[in-house]
Structure 1
Amino acid sequence: MIVARDFQLTAGTRFPVHRHATHQLTWAAKGVVSVTAPGGVWVLPATRALWIPAGTPHALEGGPAVARAVYVDRAPRGFHTPTVVVVTPLLRELAAHLATFPPLPAAASASALDAAFAGPVRSSAAARRRAEAVLLDLLQPAGVATIDVPMPADPRALLVAEAVAARPSDGRDLDGWARHAGASARTLARLFTDGTGMSFGRWRTNVRLRAALSLLATGTPVAVVARRVGYRSPSAFIAAFRQAFGVSPGAYFSL
């Protein structure tokens, strides 16, 4: 059985790490949401969804947006890890149709969502079963990269990480951030490598690209996005984006 639900998210809404007993397909029917799960952070507009296997710990944030969650009791072959799929118009309409079935209470928890499979759900017709089968057939991996932005545990590095995440356009170099943290540049560099598994420069690039994805998903022009996330020119931003994702910013959400 497949149960679809829509959730209205106000600005800054965050569902902390949780897991479901059933598989989940989620995306933003309106606006943009991001999901953090093992393997990275995925920014999801209306054209991209993330398949989250049952039992996978994940967190969701976004808003203002409408998050669409489709809970599935069986997985297509090969969908063993979080996987991005393209939301085609047909997939979107099928999920919208399934979402018209009786909703859960507004304050439903993750366990309550899972319980929908054991509770009364309007199900009579073979038409519903056909719709569910077609929806599963439409799940095709999009084959896109993701962004990983782990946070360091050391208080000095964490202070810098939180400041960079809050303002990706801040152009201070490692020396400048080291002064901000009360550490030497060498120490700060080591703390980032030890705490995140990547250099400070690589980590900051990932922060900027993650922020860029959210802006691009809302239709913000590339030149504006480049400036807002700290690149001096659109060409430099496009080069970094292409290196990370294999496509240009303009092509990313049209795949």
Structure 2
Amino acid sequence: MATLPVTHTRLHLPGTAPTPKRPVRLVARDLDASELLAAHSHVWGQVTYALDGVVRVTVGNSTWIVPPMRAIWIPPKSLHEVATLEKAKLRALYVHADASPFKGEECEVLEVSSLLRELILAFAQVHSGEERETMLSSLILDELARSGTQPIRVALPDDKRLKALCELLIADPASPLTLDELAARVGASSRTLARLFERELGMSFSQWRQQVRLAHAAPLIARGLPLSHVAAELGYASQSAFSAMFKKTFGQSPTAFFANKVA
């Protein structure tokens, strides 16, 4: 999978900051593939959601692949970066810090219910100062607080050599390259990299690679691809091998796990 050139996109739009009277604001961006909202932060929280398309959200030492059935809650003041993996209709909800639907300073992976999706679509159509804006804001905050899913988080390292290796596999999860072959590309021995995986990420190379492949599975399944195609796209030898790894990780088969998430 070739990495496309990255286009940087303007981060903040004027007049979109949430306030105590207007605690939820929405910014709509239709982005092409490989656009980048470079690392930035703000005093309000943000729900990053794409109506269509797939985005990658990176906060600190974690990254998430986010399909349309999921969103990411990013707490206030968190440095974050958003990149499009394919053409995407990005809908960012800015939430005033005092109205945050979540406690703590950790990102939350949210399951986007049919109701939440419809609320976001409706909110995009309201005008400033309308009573409907206030009502929809309250409903959105309530629905966000009720949302939840099993996060598929991909940990990122600090070591530059290991991070370069990780970026290669995130860009091409089906890559058949071994740790020895990848080590030659990033200028480190496989033994050194194996130690770094355990020390910085708390897991082996093979365990981390499985995380990446599973993270990429959700967007493919959301597109309606047969599981046999998903398995092949992600480098598994067979559909049964993919399903077995998925069930081992999440306790359910892919079909059962996504039954109510891709409708």
TM-score of Structure 1 vs Structure 2, range by shorter chain? 0.7 to 0.9
Alignment correspondent of 1:47 = 69
Q: Cα offset for 1:7? A: 0.7
Q: Cα offset for 1:214? A: 3.0
How has the CA–CA distance of structure 1 residues 37 and 188 changed in structure 2, closer, same or farther, with 3 Å as cutoff? closer
Q: State the secondary structure of the residue aligned to 2:154.
A: coil
Q: Any unmatched runs of 5+ in structure 1?
A: 103-121
Q: Cα offset for 1:52? A: 1.7
2:139 aligns with one of 115, 134, 140: 134
- When normalised by structure 1's length, the TM-score is 0.78
AA of the residue aligned to 2:88 = A
8 A contact 1:152–1:192 mirrored in 2: no
Give me the whole-angstrom Cα distance separating, in 2, the residues matched to 1:203 and 1:194.
13
Q: State the secondary structure of the residue aligned to 1:69.
A: strand
2:208 aligns with one of 197, 203, 208: 203
Q: Cα offset for 1:96? A: 1.8
Give me the whole-angstrom Cα distance separating, in 2, the residues matched to 1:53 and 1:80.
6
8 A contact 1:145–1:244 mirrored in 2: no
Kindly name which structure, 1 or 2, has the bigger radius of gyration based on alpha carbons. 1
Q: State the secondary structure of the residue aligned to 1:133.
A: helix
How has the CA–CA distance of structure 1 residues 123 and 246 changed in structure 2, closer, same or farther, with 3 Å as cutoff? farther
2:114 aligns with one of 80, 85, 89: 89
Q: Is residue 28 of structure 1 aligned with residue 50 of structure 2?
A: yes
Deviates more, 1:237-246 or 1:74-83: 74-83
AA of the residue aligned to 2:48 = T
Q: State the secondary structure of the residue aligned to 2:51.
A: strand
8 A contact 1:3–1:99 mirrored in 2: no
Q: Cα offset for 1:244? A: 2.8
Q: State the secondary structure of the residue aligned to 1:143.
A: coil
Q: State the secondary structure of the residue aligned to 1:135.
A: helix
Give me the whole-angstrom Cα distance separating, in 2, the residues matched to 1:47 and 1:181.
35
8 A contact 2:112–2:147 mirrored in 1: no
- When normalised by structure 2's length, the TM-score is 0.76
Q: Is residue 64 of structure 1 aligned with residue 70 of structure 2?
A: no
Q: Cα offset for 1:24? A: 1.4
Give me the whole-angstrom Cα distance separating, in 1, the residues matched to 2:59 and 2:80.
4
Tell me the C-alpha RMSD between the 2 structures: 2.6
Q: Is residue 15 of structure 1 aligned with residue 20 of structure 2?
A: no
The correspondence of residues 243-254 of structure 1 with structure 2, limited to 5 A, is 243-253=248-258, 254=260
Give me the whole-angstrom Cα distance separating, in 1, the residues matched to 2:56 and 2:184.
32
The correspondence of residues 1-255 of structure 1 with structure 2, limited to 5 A, is 1=22, 2-38=24-60, 40-62=62-84, 63-73=86-96, 74-76=99-101, 78=103, 80-101=105-126, 122-125=128-131, 127-139=132-144, 140-151=146-157, 153-155=159-161, 157-158=162-163, 160-178=165-183, 184-253=189-258, 254-255=260-261
Q: State the secondary structure of the residue aligned to 2:36.
A: strand
8 A contact 2:48–2:91 mirrored in 1: yes
